[in-house]
Amino acid sequence: MDCVSLELVASLPGHQDKVWSVAWSPRGDLLASCSGDKTVRIWTRRFGATGPPAAITGSDDVNLIPSAGSATASGAQQWYCCAILDQCHSRTIRNIAWSPNGRALATASFDATVAIWELSGGVWEQVAELEGHENEVKCVAWNPDGRLIATCGRDRSVWIWESLPGREFECVDVKQGHTQDVKAVRWHPGGELLVSASYDDTIKLWNCDGDEWVCSQTLGGCGHSSTVWDVSWAPDGQRLASCSDDLTIKLWESGAAGAGPGRSSAMSGDSGGHGGDGGGHLVPSRPDLRCATTLSGYHQRTIFSLDWGPTGLIASGDGEDCICVFGQGDPELARVALRASEEEERQVPDATTTTTVSCDGGAERSVVHQQQQGEVELNDQDMGGGAGDTTDVDPDSGDRVNCPGADAGVSGLRDDGKERLAKRLNGLSLVQVGQPWGLWTRMVGAHDADVNCVRWNPAHPRLLASCSDDRLVKLWRLR
């Protein structure tokens, strides 16, 4: 029996075709999913009998859709669909991404466009459309400060767009470095480095050099031997994980410090399951990533998705309908920590606070925030202002303005706030860095078809979302 396990929290029906991607909002209170049915659904929780927070209910036309088996052990939560975004794309919506402040969504579609949506007055509205790709757009990603968007697609290109006043977006560069479809793009947590993964079996890292984005490194050769489907940065931004059609997960780190104990040599493509955490500090202009660890033998079919969570654990989903969770060190220690945390949750009731917010000139609204054990909360002192305040660009004037209630993310923190956040994140870790990697749990038959995407919740780090060709979104709790 595994020391840790995944417990099904909710199964969310509603989509009428395969679900391609899921994405958590920066606060972790909303989950967006996109599908071959050309819609995006936004899910949230109802707490007790009080009903949903009015500020995030979306269109009045949308019926609440209770989920099957969605109650937690206390029976206090129920997941439901609070908004449906449709009548925009003419083909499958392949990928979605939240803006860093949580007020906008970007949707990438097989119709060759990317749509930008904003929440205004409690209703989601399409405010912009990005056109330029020749055919299917496979992925979209917002950089950490919200000023840039990266897209990629079947036309083998990576596009970088800049956000301008008045809800305008300008393409600032197009990169043609890959020789086949580009499957995924992800920004480094620092925002200075962009990574792309491709059907050509390679991973490319891009950084800005003046007015142009240049390829600073290509991970191939000793890397994957087939299509690279997804990539994910470690929470500290010092390591990169990738998954592939070759049935392996590879962990990359900077080789600047040379080979050390538990690390592969500079030219090695496989170090077994060793920790491989002795590399040098990542420099965006000279990343010098080397394969330090290869995890193989755990998936029997294509690994379509992976995500490196706040606890240090990596989740992956595959074409055999399975979800795996990998960790470093002794999973028994993690099990003890999880049990202690669950005991604390049972003894200390959730704290609920109400905050009045006003965004986009709309009327003041009450938003119920539920803080649970393990949530990363940014307080007034961290933010250098009011609770949840951040600076944004007014879409009409271009002026920098304060938007209460928006999640600023790490880029909005003061230096001392970043230090406190780092300490809190370190406290969430369930792994022993530097120790060997291994499979901690495997959920066989997690879905009834291919698992297309897995994503950890950024604020509730033991909560995992997945989606599948079986048309379902599922939520899992690490126990």
pLDDT in tens, 379-399: 333 333 333 333 333 333 343
Token pair of 175, please?
A: 């990169």
- Residue 126, φ and ψ in degrees, nearest 5: -75, 125
Confidence tier at 267 by pLDDT (50, 70, 90): very low
* Cα torsion angle, 387, 392, 395, 400, sign: positive
pTM score:
0.79
What per-residue confidence (pLDDT) applies to 338?
84
What per-residue confidence (pLDDT) applies to 61?
35
How deeply is 11 buried, as exposed, middle or buried, from its count of CB atoms within 10 A (0-12, 13-18, 19+)?
middle
Whether residue 197 has pLDDT greater than 80: yes
Mean pLDDT on 187-201 = 96
What per-residue confidence (pLDDT) applies to 277?
52
Confidence tier at 346 by pLDDT (50, 70, 90): confident
**Residue 365 belongs to a domain:** no
Give the rounded percent of residues in the chain with a pLDDT score beyond 90. 61
Determine the structural domain holding residue 206 and report its residue range.
6-334+428-478
The CA distances from residue 117 to 100, 138, 348, 425, in Å, are 13, 18, 38, 30
Q: Indicate the range of 132-136, 167-171, 367-371 predicted with least confidence.
A: 367-371
Mean pLDDT on 203-230 = 93
State the CB neighbour count (10 A cutoff) for residue 340: 10
Whether residue 274 has pLDDT greater than 70: no
Whether residue 453 has pLDDT greater than 90: yes
What per-residue confidence (pLDDT) applies to 349?
54
**Residue 76 belongs to a domain:** yes
What per-residue confidence (pLDDT) applies to 370?
36
What per-residue confidence (pLDDT) applies to 310?
94
Counted domains in the chain: 1
Whether residue 410 has pLDDT greater than 50: no
What per-residue confidence (pLDDT) applies to 334?
87
Whether residue 18 has pLDDT greater than 60: yes
**Residue 256 belongs to a domain:** yes
Mean pLDDT on 260-285 = 49
What per-residue confidence (pLDDT) applies to 255?
78
Phi-psi region of 357 (alpha: psi -120 to 50; beta: other; left: phi over 0): beta
Confidence tier at 273 by pLDDT (50, 70, 90): low
State the CB neighbour count (10 A cutoff) for residue 273: 20
Mean pLDDT on 451-456 = 98
What per-residue confidence (pLDDT) applies to 428?
67
Whether residue 456 has pLDDT greater than 70: yes
Quote the CA–CA distance of 394 and 360 in Å, as a whole number: 9
**Residue 393 belongs to a domain:** no
What per-residue confidence (pLDDT) applies to 286?
86
Confidence tier at 339 by pLDDT (50, 70, 90): confident
**Residue 1 belongs to a domain:** no
Q: Indicate the range of 50-59, 67-76, 334-343, 356-365 predicted with least confidence.
A: 356-365
Mean pLDDT on 148-174 = 96
Mean pLDDT on 184-208 = 96
Mean pLDDT on 389-418 = 39
In this structure, what DSSP letter does residue 55 have? G
**pLDDT: which is higher, 239 or 397:** 239
**Residue 286 belongs to a domain:** yes
Whether residue 402 has pLDDT greater than 50: no
Q: Indicate the average pLDDT of the chain.
A: 79
pLDDT tens profile 26-68: 999 999 999 999 999 999 998 654 444 433 333 333 333 344 4
Q: Indicate the range of 190-199, 316-325, 343-352 predicted with least confidence.
A: 343-352
**Residue 413 belongs to a domain:** no
**Residue 303 belongs to a domain:** yes
Quote the CA–CA distance of 72 and 291 in Å, as a whole number: 40
Whether residue 361 has pLDDT greater than 80: no
What per-residue confidence (pLDDT) applies to 468?
98
Give Cα 431 to chain centroid, integer Å.
20
Give the rounded percent of residues in the chain with a pLDDT score beyond 70. 71
What per-residue confidence (pLDDT) applies to 356?
30
Quote the CA–CA distance of 453 and 437 in Å, as a whole number: 22
What per-residue confidence (pLDDT) applies to 230?
98
Whether residue 126 has pLDDT greater than 80: yes
- Mapped onto helix, strand or coil, the DSSP state of residue 402 is strand
Q: What is the CATH number of the domain that holds 320?
A: 2.130.10.10
Quote the CA–CA distance of 397 and 390 in Å, as a whole number: 17
Q: Indicate the range of 93-107, 335-349, 463-477 predicted with least confidence.
A: 335-349
